[in-house]
Amino acid sequence: MVKGKILIVDDDREILQLMKITLSKMGYKIETETDPEKALIRSVESDILLVDQLMPDMSGIEFIEKVKQKGLNIPVILMTAYGNLEDAVTAMKKGAFHYITKPLNFEELDIIIQQALEVSRLREELNQLKSILGTQIIAESPQMKSILETAKKIAPFDTTVLITGESGTGKEMIARFIHKNSLRKDRPFVAINCGAIPPELLESELFGYKKGAFTGANTDRKGLIEEAEGGTLFLDEIGELPLNLQVKLLRVLQENEIKPLGSSRPKKINVRFIAATNRDLKKMVEEGKFREDLYYRINVLPIHIPPLRKRKEDIIPLARFFIKKYCSKYGIQPKTLSRKAIEELLSYPFKGNVRELENIIERSVLIHEGDVIEEIPLPVSKRYTTPQELKPFKQAKEEFEKNYLENLLKQTNYNIAQASKISGITRAQIYRMIKKYNIHI
Amino acid sequence: MKLKDYKHDLNAFVFKMEASAKLLSEPENLSLEEIKLISDIILQNTSTLRLFFECFSTVEKLQEKENRAEIISQPKFRHLVKEVILALDRNASVTEEENRIIFRGNFKTTDQIGKFFLQCLNYIFPEGKINDKEIVLIW
């Protein structure tokens, strides 16, 4: 079993070759790179980065800074010249996991790498636990980062929030995130899918009932609004709420009180409401299918979650997260994604969004027996890109540039020099574009 | 020229030799291809180290005012120069003229030893011409 994947960055090819042989014999999967810029792009696929301090184009310390700027949480071990304590101290200050002096002692290096892997593993476990508790959201894309920032800002206020987005984009996750970051975090978070409960039962589910309110009501029963007392009620698929209940919900929001079925006395409540929908509520208002007053009442703080295909930067981190989740669930050894699998995931439209990605990854984890998921079992009929919409010129141009660059890099087997020659774009410009479009190579 | 100026690269040589020796001490764990690769690295490094010390001692001799004409006229010196050039670029081409040798290739180097070789050539052949693509040495 592979102990961990290490990317070694050094301008000396012979050192790289010897380190690769030695560390491979110790059970590590070794990748090497002489160009630090390329290494930065490749680093996302590694568990640990081992980097030389003295390189002609970029020092090891500068490399560490860039890794941190990219927001990568990968431990970096710096290789410094013997006796150069100054570099070692600077590297540690910049966020290096450790340093090792040259000439290297492989036994010592092995211990440091194992420590780094252990820290990395614990960090991931912590993230997983946080996620299970509903407080962590995988967000690498600028859109999702901005959503989380907004959510964090609005969390402490009791205002109603309307979360919109396609099915499977993670609306409930954002609702839970808001709850966990609010002053109500120690009180209940209650979720109800308005579209999943038959309309005739929805009222009693939401508002509760008194004994004898209808046939079969043998005892008093609290509704979900009351269950969420002091906490947050998440009304998913609010667009499916029947018109008669929309009126009642509006009253609850305005008066902060409910009247259970069969009761004539209103009850004061203290609940924060977060609603979500994948439908166009404004259009529904125009069509008379959704009450305008309720729409404005719930749409105080709107949050829109873009579909996964429009925030591709999240696909691979999410996929890796789900791989860990399902490997752990099924007691399977950890797996990684091959470059081909990464490309397949990045070019798939994910109409079912994160939910679909999770299902696909669960299937992949179960199907593939080795350490690496070589291929993703995507439905053949769905391997196409989404239909072209008429977009603003700037957006269309950027999309073209990104696609062009992805194809160019694929065709040149990610050889930047060759890509530069074919395209007539300078290497520096290609690197800038790779960074701009966050292309994983 | 002081040895400490080349500490980084000399340390790298030591490391490579040591790592190679360690790997070769357990040949049963290595494939034939790996053994060949390690042997090549050892040969390459010993050769570069030898060149380094030969150049170093030549420069020292010149600094100690030994006869330059006598040193550079020796056939083994001409051979040494060719070896240095090939260490800088294995594929360099050579054109020998009456009192000069012209080497063409890629002589751009960033490592300490490579720079050292260029400095040596410059020192020994002050009238020569050295740039990234061409080295002209006048005897």
Structure-model confidence comparison of residues A138 and A281, the more confident one:
A281
Q: How far is CA A50 from the centre of its chain?
A: 26
CB of B30 less than 8 A from some CB of A: yes
pLDDT at A160: 94
Determine the pLDDT at residue B3.
81
In this structure, the number of other CB atoms found within 10 A of the CB of residue A358 comes to: 18
pTM of the model: 0.51
Pick the CATH number of A393-436 from 1.10.10, 1.10.3470, 2.60.40, 1.20.120: 1.10.10
For A204, residues 6+ apart whose C-beta sits below 8 A from its C-beta are A213, A214, A221, A223, A261
Do A326 and A362 touch, CB atoms closer than 8 A?
yes
Task: Write the CA distances from A31 to A16, A211, B9, B64, integer angstroms.
Answer: 9, 69, 23, 48
Which pLDDT value is given to residue A131?
60
B85/B103 Cα distance (integer angstroms): 8
The verdict on a CB contact (< 8 Å) between A102 and B30 is: no
Q: Is the pLDDT of residue B2 over 90?
A: no
A137, A174 Cβ separation under 8 angstroms: yes
What pLDDT sits at residue A3? 82
A32 contacts on B by Cβ (under 8 Å): none
CA distance A55 to chain B (A): 9
Residue A216 burial (10 A CB sphere; 0-12, 13-18, 19+): exposed
DSSP letter, residue A228: T
Closest partner residue to A18 among B7, B14, B19, by Cβ? Answer: B19
How far apart are alpha carbons A82 and A65 in whole angstroms? 22
Copy the structure tokens of residue A84.
């150069």
CA distance linking residue A296 with residue A279, whole number of Å: 15
pLDDT confidence of residue A1: 63
The per-residue pLDDT for B68 is 79
Q: What is the pLDDT of residues A37-85, one digit of tens each?
A: 999 888 877 889 999 998 888 999 999 998 887 767 789 999 987 667 7
Identify the burial level of B4 via C-beta atoms within 10 angstroms of its C-beta, where 0-12 means exposed, 13-18 middle and 19 or more buried: exposed
Task: Tell me where in chain A the CATH 1.10.10 domain(s) lie.
Answer: 393-436
Complex-level ipTM beyond the 0.95 threshold: no
Residue A49: its pLDDT value, please? Answer: 95
Option in B8, B14, B34 nearest A54 (CB):
B8
Q: Report the residue from B11, B12, B23 with minimal CB separation from A22.
A: B23
Q: Percent of chain A, pLDDT > 90?
A: 46
Contact B37 A103 (CB under 8 A): no
For residue A136, pLDDT over 70 is answered with no
Domain count, chain B: 1
Q: Which domain holds residue B87?
A: 3-138
- Residue A74 has a pLDDT of 87
Confidence category of residue A222, pLDDT binned at 50, 70, 90: confident
Residue A134 pLDDT level (bands cut at 50, 70, 90): low
Q: Sorting pLDDT into bands at 50, 70 and 90, what band is A384?
A: very low
In chain B, what residues touch A103 (CB-CB under 8 Å)? 11-12, 14-15, 18
Whether A81 has its CB under 8 Å from any CB of chain B: the answer is: yes
Question: Which CATH class name applies to A5-132?
Answer: alpha beta
Q: Which residues of B touch A8 (CB under 8 A)?
A: none
Q: Which residue of B has its CA nearest to A15?
A: B16
Residue A35 pLDDT greater than 90, yes or no = yes
Q: What is the mean pLDDT of chain A?
A: 87
Distance (Å) from the alpha carbon of A2 to chain B's nearest alpha carbon: 17
Average pLDDT estimate for A399-428: 84
pLDDT band at A10; cut points 50, 70, 90: very high
Determine the average pLDDT of the residues in A282-311. Answer: 93
Q: Alpha-carbon torsion A63, A69, A70, A76, what sign?
A: positive
Backbone angles phi, psi at A291, to 5 degrees: -70, 130
Residue A167 has pLDDT above 50, yes or no: yes
User: What pLDDT, on a 0 to 100 scale, did the predictor assign at position A386?
Assistant: 47
Record: fold of A142-306 = Rossmann fold (3.40.50)
- Residue A164, Cβ neighbours under 10 Å: how many? 20
Query: Which CATH class, in words, describes the domain spanning A309-382?
Result: mainly alpha
CB-nearest to A102 from B15, B44, B110 is B15
pLDDT digits (tens, 9 = 90+) for A333-349: 888 898 889 888 988 99
CB distance A103–B15 less than 8 Å?
yes
Which tokens is A283 given? 């259009």
Over 90: is that where the pLDDT of A382 sits? Answer: no
From the list A293, A348, A287, the residue with the least C-alpha distance to A319 is A348
Of A247, A296, A298, the C-alpha closest to A273 is A298
- With beta carbons less than 8 A apart as the criterion, state whether B118 and B107 touch: yes
Q: Say if strands A272-277 and A301-305 run parallel, antiparallel, or are unpaired.
A: unpaired
- The residue among B117 and B67 whose pLDDT is bigger is B117
CB–CB contact B45 A14 (8 Å): yes
CA distance to B96, B112, B115, per residue, from A55 (Å): 36, 11, 14
Structure tokens at A50: 């081992």
